[in-house]
């Protein structure tokens, strides 16, 4: 996972966040780059490409297969990621979490950019963060990757806040953190300067990296209800492998043995495919969904359970958990209401792994 600090900051500003994410099980690369020395288009490549190389070198020493590379950014760091991904998109790109990004620029730059000393303090990159149509953030377009955004609503700089409309974090208004194509957006009572050090923000970053969405109270939870009826049902058959146990055999000895398979399919409108997985108590089920439609969703139900164990959606979404009982688990793939009612379609690749305890 790659961390990128904001304008006129250093990697030290992201150390607390980097440590917490590492403790959560992610390998981290905390990048330092000269944010005020060059324009954004000249900062992005030299900052991000070497970090990706470091991630690749680390992956070569691990036993996991092609781990995904995530990004966590603060402020202008998010614009660097957008700039880089507009030209190069790694095949193993995972999720991106942006903290207080000026995705549509900032009114602060509109007002203060012409003042003496602003360019000296914030460089060419700072001058590029206006709200004008030709500014770098507004020229980069919509996100074509999995991104969640946290916007602050608290300010410690009342003077700058007078330059910003409505809710803001002291540097960027909430409205201008939004990005077309984003998967989730969360407002939190934190300031621009210190949000990356806030424990609640850090917890939300980790939750998004794991689940592809931010954590909310039940009454605020995103509606992932199933608008579709099952139009196709398939029983998952695990192939015989050296590390597996063969079709329909969930009684392999404990250890590193596991079963895995992948399924490709397409759903349209209100269609839904339900996959049946035979499993036993204590086994771990890992599900990964990749789709060309961010509104593709999955729902996992345990045997004889009235409610789903878990649901999620997005172009890249994954989840793993220990199974609570023996029986047949139901994994449904469908489109969320907005996409289903519009008659959209989704091509998807579903990765399923069943691992024995031990």
pLDDT in tens, 173-227: 999 999 999 988 999 999 999 999 999 999 999 989 988 888 875 433 344 566 6
**pLDDT score at 339:** 79
Residue 17 has pLDDT above 50, yes or no: yes
Q: How many CA atoms lie within 13 A of 170 on its CB side?
A: 12
Distance of alpha carbon 211 from alpha carbon 2, whole angstroms: 18
Tokens of 119: 């360019």
**pLDDT score at 227:** 63
Per the model's pLDDT, the better-predicted residue between 30 and 314 turns out to be 30
**pLDDT score at 249:** 42
User: Which of these three, 220, 249, 271, is where a domain ends?
Assistant: 220
Residue 39 has pLDDT above 50, yes or no: yes
Q: Is residue 195 domain-shared with residue 245, that is, in the same domain?
A: no
**pLDDT score at 219:** 34
Residue 134 has pLDDT above 60, yes or no: yes
User: Which of these three, 162, 189, 220, is where a domain ends?
Assistant: 220
Q: Is residue 147 domain-shared with residue 272, that is, in the same domain?
A: no
**pLDDT score at 226:** 62
Rounded to the nearest angstrom, the gap between the alpha carbon of residue 101 and the centroid of all alpha carbons in its chain is: 15
Instruction: Report the DSSP beta bridge partners of residue 335.
Output: 296
| Cβ atoms of 100 and 172 closer than 8 Å | yes
285-331 pLDDT, tens digit each: 888 889 998 888 888 888 877 677 777 777 777 777 778 888 999 99
The CATH number linked to 340 is 2.60.120.380
| Residue 225 covered by a domain | no
| Residue 17 covered by a domain | yes
Q: Is residue 208 domain-shared with residue 81, that is, in the same domain?
A: yes
User: Which of these three, 220, 248, 274, is where a domain ends?
Assistant: 220
Q: Is residue 146 domain-shared with residue 236, that is, in the same domain?
A: no
Lowest mean pLDDT among 138-147, 262-271, 339-348: 339-348
Domain containing 189 equals: 2-220
249-284 pLDDT, tens digit each: 443 334 446 789 999 999 998 899 999 999 988 888
């Amino acid at each position: 996972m790659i961390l990128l600090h904001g304008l006129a900051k250093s990697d030290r500003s992201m150390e607390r966040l980097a440590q917490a994410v590492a403790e959560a099980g992610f390998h981290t690369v905390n990048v330092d780059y000269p944010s005020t020395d060059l324009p954004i288009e000249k900062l992005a490549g030299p900052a991000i490409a070497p970090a990706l190389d470091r991630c690749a070198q680390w992956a070569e020493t691990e036993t996991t297969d092609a781990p995904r590379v995530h990004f966590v950014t603060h402020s202008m760091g998010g614009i660097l990621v957008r700039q880089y991904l507009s030209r190069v998109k790694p095949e193993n790109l995972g999720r991106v979490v942006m903290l207080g990004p000026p995705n549509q620029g900032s009114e602060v730059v509109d007002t203060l950019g012409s003042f003496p000393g602003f360019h000296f303090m914030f460089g060419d990159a700072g001058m590029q963060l206006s709200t004008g149509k030709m500014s770098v953030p507004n020229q980069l377009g919509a996100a074509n990757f999995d991104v969640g955004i946290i916007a602050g609503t608290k300010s410690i700089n009342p003077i700058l806040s007078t330059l910003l409309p409505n809710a803001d974090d002291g540097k960027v208004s909430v409205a201008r953190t939004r990005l077309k194509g984003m998967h989730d957006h969360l407002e939190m009572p934190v300031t621009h300067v210190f949000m990356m050090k806030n424990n609640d923000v850090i917890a939300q970053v980790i939750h998004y990296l794991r689940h592809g969405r931010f954590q909310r109270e039940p009454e605020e939870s995103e509606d992932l209800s199933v608008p579709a009826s099952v139009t196709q049902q398939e029983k998952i058959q695990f192939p015989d492998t050296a590390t597996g146990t063969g079709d329909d055999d969930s009684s392999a000895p404990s250890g590193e043995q596991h079963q895995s398979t992948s399924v490709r399919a397409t759903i349209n409108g209100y269609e839904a495919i339900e996959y049946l997985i035979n499993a036993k108590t204590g086994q771990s089920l890992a599900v990964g969904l990749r789709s060309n439609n961010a509104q593709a969703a999955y729902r996992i139900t345990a045997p004889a359970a009235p409610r789903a164990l878990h649901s999620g959606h997005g172009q890249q979404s994954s989840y793993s958990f220990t199974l609570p009982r023996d029986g047949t688990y139901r994994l449904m793939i469908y489109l969320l209401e907005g996409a289903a009612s519009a008659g959209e379609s989704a091509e998807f690749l579903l990765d399923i792994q069943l691992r024995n305890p031990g």
